[in-house]
Copies of this chain bind each other. A is one copy, B any other.
């Protein structure tokens, strides 16, 4: 096997900064969400996606795709969310295999409160410490990454 194309010092440094910084950022936000609103990161993500969907309702498979979760994981998490009364599942009449996940009113209310704190944290640890042009660069970059990943399947 040929010698791999190692990263140069600068690339290495920036790549590491991203890995480390994003890990810690994720970490701190999940902790905050859990402490103040009793929601895990993935639960929050699910509520957000549902809240944005028409009728606040999505098929499980679509929801899994939007929230970047495996179907299995989504099933488990939805079971929990349903137990908390934040989500309700309902089987689809046209395709009897299908299931719709609905955001309940209580779910929406919880999400609304959580989102207020969340945006504050996002600003505090991310938006406000980053140069606006650098933020745009981040957006560009990760859209490219997501696209590359999508096309790889």
Q: Which residues of A contact B (CB under 8 A)?
A: 1, 4-7, 10-11, 13-15, 17-18, 20-25, 27-28, 68, 116, 119-120, 122-127, 129-131, 133-149, 152
Contact (Cβ within 8 A) A125 B148: yes
Contact (Cβ within 8 A) A23 B68: yes
Of the candidates A5, A17, A140, the one having the most CB atoms from chain B within 10 angstroms of its own CB is: A17
A140 to B: closest C-beta gap in Å? 6
Knowing A27-B68, A119-B7, say if A20 contacts B146 (CB, 8 Å): yes
A137–B28 Cα distance when bound, in Å, is 22
Chain A interface SS verdict (over half): helix
What's the number of copies of this chain in the assembled complex?
2
Contact (Cβ within 8 A) B139 A133: no
| Contact residue among B125, B131, B138 (Cβ-Cβ distance under 8 Å from A152) | B125
A141–B28 Cα distance when bound, in Å, is 17
Contact (Cβ within 8 A) A138 B137: yes
| Contact residue among B13, B122, B143 (Cβ-Cβ distance under 8 Å from A21) | B143
A123–B6 Cα distance when bound, in Å, is 9
Interfacial chain B residues near A141, Cβ < 8 Å: 21, 129-131, 134-135, 137-138
A94–B133 Cα distance when bound, in Å, is 50
Knowing A5-B119, A68-B23, say if A137 contacts B133 (CB, 8 Å): yes
Contact (Cβ within 8 A) B20 A139: no
A23–B131 Cα distance when bound, in Å, is 22
